[in-house]
Amino acid sequence: MTEVQSVATAATNATIESSRLYERDGAYIPRIAAVHDLCGYGKCSLGVAIPVLSAAGCDVCPVPTGLFSSHTAFPGWYMHDTTAILDDYVSAWTGIGVDIDAIYSGFLGAPEQVNLIRRLYDLFPNALRVVDPVMADHGKVYPTYTPELCDAMAQLAHGADVLTPNLTEAAIILGEPIGENWCGTDISDEEAARMIHALQERGAKNVVLKGIQRNGESIIRNFVGTENGCIEEVSNEYVPYMLHGTGDVYCSCLLAAIMAGKTLAEAVAFAGDFTHDSMLVSAKQPDFKNRGVSFEPLLGKVTALL
């Protein structure tokens, strides 16, 4: 169950009003360019984005940034970097009348792929820009991410209409340390607001700062900073185990709700509830901590957004 409350900030003490970032037009089916890797086993990235957004009545147009045999927590995973094909891949779209309503990027395989996303921005200037800066968590950078790729991801984040970092990713984007003195996920409302406003000052319009858990609490807090400077807190019950792919489920559900015409705060609440419930379903599956988050039985909840 989600709890939503307002958080006073230096910017305003007014009533919080989250804007709608997309207005659904009748029977029109919006098209989303999903710029993510494709993972064969472990249920993440495009393997999550395509079914979740399709369930929300969206036409998902995948742009694969890499091919993985499995997620990287498994030993001996294989990755094929698709950077060399992506320019021709997108060029082929330009001659067939492709139109895109949102550009949703996540895991990237190389710094050069940021230029590909910027090209998509140029081709589709009215598309909503949703950046999930997938590169780190709990103070550790993912094994395929070089300093150059982290820097490129930080630059991409500055142009987002919606930016969805966890605390580690937010610190990297802001150029703040994540080493031995990393604070973990226990930060105050004031520190969360500081980070959100700092990200907005660098160009991100709306920021969802994910995964704050304070010592002794049994809830996960997510802070929603909207373009008008207001901040709202959305919290969910903490589930005491980690699953791969939950971040992809969360952000895909967030975008699904946005494209269904929900406000940003409503979308964050929906994403939190869906991810929480998917984790409960997952725990009933064999080898659930390795195989990824099991969201499939709950896709009807995404369709119900319409």
Predicted local distance difference test score (pLDDT) of residue 13 = 38
What is the DSSP code string of 217-249? --EEEEEEE-TTS-EEEEEEEPPSS--TTHHHH
Lowest mean pLDDT across 8-22, 174-188, 252-266, 272-286: 8-22
Predicted local distance difference test score (pLDDT) of residue 290 = 86
Which run of H or E residues covers position 208?
strand 206-212
Output the pTM of the full model: 0.92
Predicted local distance difference test score (pLDDT) of residue 4 = 52
Structure token pair of residue 294: 């099991």
**Tens digit of each residue's pLDDT (9 = 90 or more) over 195-219:** 999 999 999 999 999 989 888 889 9
Predicted local distance difference test score (pLDDT) of residue 42 = 87
Q: Does pLDDT of 110 surpass 50?
A: yes
Provide the percentage of residues in the chain whose pLDDT is more than 90: 75
- Please provide the CATH number assigned to the domain covering 28-176+245-303: 3.40.1190.20
The domain limits of the chain are 28-176+245-303
- Please indicate whether residue 85 or residue 137 has the higher confidence score (pLDDT): 85
What does the mean pLDDT of the chain come to?
Answer: 90
**Tens digit of each residue's pLDDT (9 = 90 or more) over 75-108:** 888 999 999 999 999 999 998 999 999 999 998 9
Predicted local distance difference test score (pLDDT) of residue 143 = 85
Q: Does pLDDT of 18 surpass 80?
A: no
**Tens digit of each residue's pLDDT (9 = 90 or more) over 140-177:** 898 889 999 999 999 999 999 999 999 999 999 999 98
Predicted local distance difference test score (pLDDT) of residue 14 = 40
Structure token pair of residue 186: 């226990």
| DSSP-assigned letter for residue 125 | T
Q: Does pLDDT of 9 surpass 80?
A: no
Q: Does pLDDT of 185 surpass 90?
A: no
List, in order, residues 6 or more apart from 226 with CB less than 8 Å away. Answer: 16, 17, 18, 19, 206, 232, 264
User: What string of H, E and C letters represents the secondary structure of 161-206?
Assistant: CEECCEHHHHHHHHCCCCCCCCCCCCCCHHHHHHHHHHHHHCCCCE
Give the model's confidence band at 15: pLDDT under 50 very low, under 70 low, under 90 confident, else very high: very low
